[in-house]
Every structure is written in structure tokens, then in C-alpha cells.
Chains A and B, each alone.
Chain A
Amino acid sequence: MTAAAAPALKAQRRSLYPSWFYAPAAVIYAVLFLAPTFASLYFSLTRWSLSSAVFIGFENFAQFFREPFLIQGLVNTVVYAAISSGLKVVLGMLLALMLTSQIMGRGYLRSVIFFPVLVSTVGVGMTFTVLMHPTNGMINEALSLIGIKGPGWLVDPKLALFSVALVDVWKGVGLATVIYIAGLVAIPKDYYEAARIDGATPLQNFFYVTLPLSRPATATVITLSFIGGLRTFDLIWAMTKGGPGFASDTVASVIYKQYQAGFYGLSTAGNVVLFILIAVLVVPLTMFLNRKQGFE
């Protein structure tokens, strides 16, 4: 490079011209994501209707936390997220192990497992509401055939949240399985062969090789399903509407109820609370899951 060419190139680098290419994406991002985010931060501090907004400081937050069933909603949210992500990890791993082994109809079974992911959540919710009906539901009828009296899946306050979480697992485990399959097939065969020469049993293979080496997949599954669980709304609303009573209310369903009642400022404050809740739980979790372990 000549001495004269160097400053010219530097000037070119500083030119605004390339930045214009970012502009369309930046505008879309700003309009659809940044503006609503900052607007909701502002509106959470106001009492507002569609036409006017009055600034009231942190009053909405104070009122939100005074909601009688909010604490239960918060606990429910975390319990729901923990159950659904925990079960997705365990079942996803087991299904992935099965679907990466030499079994008949492997490709077909992979499609079957993944299919529920493609179905609309509300459709799944409505279907399972019918299936889980305490007296006429197919699940309890099937149980009664083998002499078991099925519980009131969605009407028993102690059970409703767990029932919805189970349906969430049914619907979401396909995605977890696919992530695990990708993780498992990426583990080099050499490790298993070395373990085989060392005399590892299938169980030792799993605990010493498969499980630790599929940690990146586990981290992805936990993070995705835990965040999904924390912000769950559609399935809860389609199946129980937070009931019976407030037994299966989550933060998102509480917020929705406030919107329905016309308390826009209050529910926007609820959204900010949910945002903070997710950040507070998920950021340390992902930092823990993705900590460096001397991997190559």
C-alpha cells in the first residue's frame, strides 16, 4: 500500500455511506422492538387509556404487588417453568438417545415426536381440555378401564397447573429432542470406542461420556424451555384461564386479566415485572450453564 492510498482508505472507512445499508433493518427494529419497549417502560409509570396517559410514578407497581393472587402467580410461573423445562430435558434426552440408536422406523418416529411442535398451542390446549375432562375425558375413561379412578386434571386446584405443564411438555418435547439429537450425533464416535475398550457399561457410557458431552445441548434446551415456561400464557389461557380460582394463574395470565379489565397501566407494569423476573432468573442460569470447562 502506498503512503497516499492509506489515508484515502481510512477516509473511506469513516464514510457514512455503508451505514445507510443498515437503515432499513434499524428502522424496523426501532419501530417494532425498541419503541414499544421504551413506550411500555413509560406507560408502566402512567395511568393510561387509549387516548390519554397520566404520570403516576411507581403506583402501578405498588398496586400490582398488592394483587392478592400475584404472589401465587409468581410462584406458579416459576414452578411451571421448572417442571416443563426439567421434564423436557429428561424426556428430550431419553427420546434423543432412543432416536439416535439403531431402531426400526427411526425417521418416522422422529417425525411423530416432532409433530406436536407444529400444532397450534390453542388447538392443543382445547384438545387436551376435552381429553382431560374429569368424567367424559378419554384419559380418565382409559384409566377406568384398568380400574384406576382418574383425577380431575384441570378442575383439581392442586393438579391444574401440573396438568397444563404436562401438556406443555408433550407439545414442546419434540423441539428438545431435535436439539439433543443434534448434540448427540456431534459427539465423536472415538469417545465411545475408547470407553468401550476401557470396559464402560452402557450406563457408564451415558454418565461419563454422553451426558457431559451433550452439555451444550442441555444448556440450550434448559434456557429455551425455561424462558418459554416463564412467559407461558396461551396454553394456560386455552386450558384453565388461570383457574380453578387462581390455582393455575401465571404472571402472564394475571397481566392479561388486567388488560381485559381495562387497567392498561397496571398490566404494562406487570409486563415490566415479568421482563425483570425472566432476566433475574435466566441470566445467572445461562451464565452457569455456559461456564467454560476447558472444552476445545
Chain B
Amino acid sequence: MAGLELKSLHKSYGDVPVIKGVDLTVEHGEFVVFVGPSGCGKSTLLRMIAGLEDITGGELWIGDKLCNAVEPRDRGIAMVFQNYALYPHMTVYDNIGFGLKLARTPKDIRDSKIREAARILQMEHLLERKPGQLSGGQRQRVAIGRAIVRKPEVFLFDEPLSNLDAALRVDTRMEISKLHQDLGATMIYVTHDQIEAMTLADKIVVLNGGVVQQVGAPIELYQRPANLFVAGFIGSPKMNFMAVTVDNVAANAVTVSGKDLSPVSIPADVTGLTLGDTVTLGIRPHALTIPTTGSVVGRINLVERLGNETIVNLGLTSGISWLAVLDGDHNLATGQTLQLAFDPTSAVIFDGEGRARHPA
């Protein structure tokens, strides 16, 4: 097994830069998820690691080998494609063994490796079928089998669950997670689904516009997002934001207020903040509660009662709307005025440039 090192990796199509200098270290055995909105460059970055896209600038190290100009087959990688890329004219057996056949692996060794991969993925009974006779989940497993059988140093997954239905996606996600534990392999996984990212990753890399926004453990990204983009992207429903004014700056906190917010002191890194600055306040929907007196007041636009929790869409007087996810069932009515409160330690202040000001 091997780790990876990306040093100032760049990619341009003509004059259009799509990857703008990515630095990243992936330890061996780590499960790293690239996540970001459509067009952020996450698939391009994965394909650069695979060798399917040329690298315009920077260095790509896999293990101790500089791989910028190395052919994909010599990089020690295997890739699972979004559409599986199973050859429709070959049986599952031949699909799994295709790479070994190309490498002229002796037939008996090939056979034992194919059967071993089929055993790991519990699909021995499918070996004689053609891809057209398999369900989506089974095809996904064959695609993974084709990767396993090559015993790669690094597994690359390009949105592998996006063609599966919701229930199957949960099952396959767990299978991939178990596979990672069993094989102990380095895995890089691309998705736009943050639930997949949060549940699978040892480390999440959030990308936007070809730039890494933040790298960290899932819970770290949730609790301490580096900037407005990460705060808005990680977490579901997304974080609520509100433009507020700095009323007072203390040693380790700022007091802020706004049209929809009574003055409240929030712990923050106050370096460079001055009275009268406009900053952004971020609160997760789950951090909002219904107190007797609250600091945010609005009119209810929509109530979704799910039994175990109640999701409230609250229209504030400034025109923006916030979501609150309240524990338990609340019998609230549309049009009703509602006060919400939050624990100041759960709020995040973002400065004028969108950087999070977490307290030290």
C-alpha cells in the first residue's frame, strides 16, 4: 500500500484553469473523499491521479514514485467508474479477470484471483452472467471486483453510488466502508453527496472552483468549517447565515446584532475585527431551540412535522429565511410568529472575506 502526495497540482484546458494548485497528502490506508459541487474539479483531480488526464503543472507522487508522466497501468491504481464501465459482451468472470488477462497472468493464478475477489464480494454465483443480467448493485460489486483483483496500491472511486437507488446506496456505502477496513487500502472517493463523504471518509477534501477549501476529518469540517463555503456545503440542512454588525469587541468574543437579531456575544477570534464591521453569523439549524425568550424572531413559512423532529422554515423581517430543526414534535402553524434561541458557543462568525473566526 502507498500514500499519495499532490504538490501544487494544476490543470488547464487551453487557457481555462480547472485545478488551481492543489496540495494534499494522503497517508497510506487512508479513506479520502473529494467533495464539492458540480464543476468544482473533483472528478478531474481524481482522473489526474488515475492518469486519464494530463497534469499541466505540479507534482503527483504515488508512494515514492513521481507519476506525472507514468502510464495509468504503471501507477498501481484501480478505478471504479460512475457507470461501472463493465464490458457488456463479457461475463462477470471475464470482466473481473480482464486486467489480469491483459497482463498475461497465467490462467490458474488468474482463476484463483477472480474467485477470491468474487468470494470477498459474495458474488460467486454471478460469475457466468453478463452485465446486462445484473442489477445496479450487482454491477457495482463487479466493478469493485475488477479493481480488487489487481491488488492496487490505491483505489479510486468516481461517484460510484450515483446510479443506485437510495436504499441500495446505503447498503453499498456500508460495503465499501467494510471493504476499506478489510483491505486496509488507500482509497480516494469522489462524490457530491455529503452524507457519503461524512460517513465514509477518514479525511474530507472540500473543493470549489478548482481550489481546496478545507481538508480535515468529517466532524472537524462540520464543527469548525474554515469558511462560508465549507460551512454552507457540509451539513444538512445547510447552515443558516445572517449579515450582522459588530457592536463590541472583547478579548475572545464579539457582540453582534442585526435587523433580525438582538445583541448577542459570540466567542470568536477577534483579530482585526473593529466596531461597526459587517460580518456573517452562521448557525446550524440543529442548534436552534424554542426558548421562552429568543434572540431571533420570524414568521413561520412552512412546518414539516416528522415525528422525531420538526423542521421549521422561518421568514425573518429582513427577508431572508432560516431553517430550524427542532427536537421532538411541535404543533406549530404557518403564519405564526416564533422566537428562536441558540447557544452562542455553537455560532460561528465569518469575517468580511468569508473566513471563519473560531475562538482559539
- Tell me whether B98 and A198 are in contact (CB under 8 A): yes
Q: How far is the CA of A188 from the CA of B50 in the complex (A)?
A: 18
A281-296 near B? 1/0 per residue, CB < 8 Å: 0000000000001111
Complex Cα gap A194–B145 (Å): 13
Q: Is A199 an interface residue (CB 8 A)?
A: yes
How long is the Cα–Cα vector from A193 to B87 in the complex, in angstroms? 12
Bits for A184-199, please: 1 = Cβ < 8 Å to B, else 0. Answer: 0000101101111111
Docked complex Cα distance between A195 and B131 (Å) = 16
A188 and B83 form a contact (CB under 8 A): yes
Q: Which residues of A contact B103 (CB under 8 A)?
A: 198-199
Q: Is A294's CB under 8 angstroms from B78's CB?
A: no
By the criterion CB–CB under 8 Å, are A294 and B87 in contact? no
Q: Which of B64-102 contact A (CB under 8 A)?
A: 71-74, 77-79, 81-85, 87-89, 98-99, 102
Interface residues in B92-122 (C-beta closer than 8 Å to A): 98-99, 102-103
Q: Does B174 contact A (CB under 8 A)?
A: no
Interface residues of A, CB < 8 Å — how many?
22
Segment of A77-85, A208-216, A219-227, A247-255 in the binding face: A208-216
Are A193 and B85 in contact (CB-based, < 8 A)?
yes
- Closest A residue to B156 by beta carbon equals A197
Docked Cα-Cα span, A188 to B73, in Å, equals 20
In the bound assembly, the distance between CA atoms of A116 and B51 in angstroms comes to 42
Q: Are A209 and B87 in contact (CB under 8 A)?
A: yes
The answer on a CB contact under 8 Å between A197 and B102 is no
A200 CB within 8 Å of chain B: yes
Chain A residue at minimum C-beta to C-beta distance from B81 = A190
Q: Does B291 contact A (CB under 8 A)?
A: no
Q: Tell whether B12 is near chain A: CB-to-CB under 8 Å.
A: no
Known: A199-B102, A204-B102. A295 touches B88 (CB 8 A): yes
User: Which residue from A194, A199, A201, A213 sits with its C-beta under 8 Å from B88?
Assistant: A213
Taking CB atoms, residues of chain B closer than 8 Å to A191 are 85, 87
**Could you tell me the distance between the alpha carbons of A190 and B52 in the complex, rounded to whole angstroms?**
10
User: Are A294 and B83 CB-contacts (below 8 A) given A197-B51, A199-B73?
Assistant: no
Whether the pair A208, B73 counts as a contact (CB closer than 8 A) is: no
CB distance B132 to A194 under 8 Å?
A: no
Interface string of A167-209 (1 = CB under 8 A from B): 0000000000000000000001011011111111100100011
Give every chain A residue within 8 A of B51 (Cβ-Cβ). Answer: 196-197
Q: Across the interface, which residues of A come within 8 angstroms of B99, CB to CB? A: 197-199
Q: How far is the CA of A209 from the CA of B87 in the complex (A)?
A: 8
List chain A residues, Cβ under 8 A from B286: none
Report Cα–Cα, A190/B80, bound state, in Å. Answer: 10
Q: CB distance B102 to A293 under 8 Å?
A: no
Instruction: Give every chain B residue within 8 A of A215 (Cβ-Cβ).
Output: 89
A293 and B129 CA atoms in complex are apart in Å by 11
Say yes or no: A296 contacts B83, CB within 8 Å: no
Query: Are B131 and A198 interface neighbours, CB within 8 A?
Result: no
Given A196-B52, A196-B73, A294-B129, CB of A212 within 8 Å of CB of B89: yes
Are B133 and A190 touching (Cβ within 8 A)?
Answer: no
Say how far B17's CB is from chain A's closest CB, in angstroms: 23
Q: Is B150 an interface residue (CB 8 A)?
A: yes
> In the bound complex, what is the Cα–Cα distance between A278 and B103 (angstroms)?
45
Residue in contact with B131 in the complex, picked from A199, A200, A296, CB distance below 8 Å: A296
A199 to B71, CA, bound (A): 8
B169 at the interface (CB under 8 A from A): no
Cα distance A124–B133 in the bound complex, in angstroms:
49
Given contacts A188-B83, A190-B81, A194-B79, whether A295 and B89 have CB atoms under 8 Å apart is yes
Contact A194 B89 (CB under 8 A): no
| Cβ proximity bits B21-59 to A, threshold 8 Å, 1 near / 0 not | 000000000000000000000000000001110000000
A215-B87 Cα distance, complex, nearest whole Å = 13
- How close is A217's CB to chain B, nearest CB, in angstroms? 14
Cross-interface CB contact of B73 among A190, A198, A213, cutoff 8 Å: A198
Max count, chain B CB within 10 A of own CB: residue among A204, A295, A296: A296
A196 touches B87 (CB 8 A): no
Complex CA–CA separation, A191 to B74 (angstroms): 18
5 contacts between A and B (CB under 8 A): A190-B82, A190-B83, A196-B51, A198-B73, A295-B132
For the A-B complex with A190-B83, A193-B85, A293-B130 known, give 16 more contacts whose Cβ atoms are closer than 8 Å.
Answer: A188-B85, A190-B81, A190-B82, A191-B85, A194-B79, A194-B85, A195-B98, A197-B79, A198-B73, A200-B102, A204-B102, A212-B87, A294-B88, A294-B132, A295-B88, A295-B130
The 9 closest A-B pairs by CB, nearest first: A294-B130, A199-B73, A198-B99, A190-B85, A194-B85, A212-B89, A296-B132, A294-B132, A197-B72
Residues of B bordering A, CB below 8 Å:
50-52, 71-74, 77-79, 81-85, 87-89, 98-99, 102-103, 129-133, 146, 150
